[in-house]
Copies of this chain bind each other. A is one copy, B any other.
Amino acid sequence: MADLSKKTVERLCVYHRELLELENEGTDHIFSHQLAKRAGVSPVQLRHDIMGIGYSGSPARGYEISEMLKSIAKQLLSTKQQNVAIVGIGNLGRAIMAYFHGRRENIRIIAGFDSDLQKINRTISGCYCYSMNDIERICKYHKIKAAIIAVPEREAQDIAEKLSQAGIRGIMNFAPVRLVLPDSIYVENLDMALTLEKVAYFARQ
């Protein structure tokens, strides 16, 4: 399980999402080439990934969606709720909290951190907000291993180091800056400004 690569995990997440959607539509079986098309991967890649998690379908009926969902979930998802923290409760931070509130059963944003006294000790989008000074104490108390950074660029590195000291192992970073952290910490950058610049560039061509 610990051996899955970043790309494999990403693809399994996509399959899981597509399968959930198919199940909601009332479908109970799907062929590998159909699921591959929905997920935007080659059928060979899909079959390889699915065999890798120890599931196989029937040649006649394809994959059984409910069983495949269970197999992927067993690999990917935590069996118990995983607590996540968010640092920075500005416009973006609040939108992220609202976006995730009640969205996932297994992942929950349980603590927010900000330096603004107006936000501290309040519940925002179902999440209690603490002072930045409480990062280490609260993360350890709630066994939080993953965090979202939604602070301005200039504060991000400092916050990332605080999170690292607090035992955080995975960071989703919205600040447009490359964080310098030990290799043991997994970082995903979502740089909205950079992405919009790229889209704008290709839209002009």
Contact = CB atoms under 8 A, between A and B. Distances in A.
A156 interface: no
Contacts of A100: 192-193, 196
A170 B104 contact: no
A200 B107 contact: yes
Interface residues of A, number: 55
Contact of A84 (B38, B40, B200): B200
Contacts of A205: 1-2, 169
A201 B9 contact: yes
Chain copies in the assembly?
2
A141 interface: no
Determine the main DSSP class of A at the interface with B. helix
Given A84-B196, A188-B198, A193-B103, A169 B78 contact: no
Interface stretch (A50-58, A87-95, A111-119): A87-95
A178 to B, nearest CB: 5
A159 interface: no
A151 interface: no
Interface string A1-21: 110101001100110010000
Nearest to A154: B21
A80 B9 CA distance: 41
Contact of A148 (B76, B196, B198): B196
A134 to B, nearest CB: 20
Contacts of A44: none
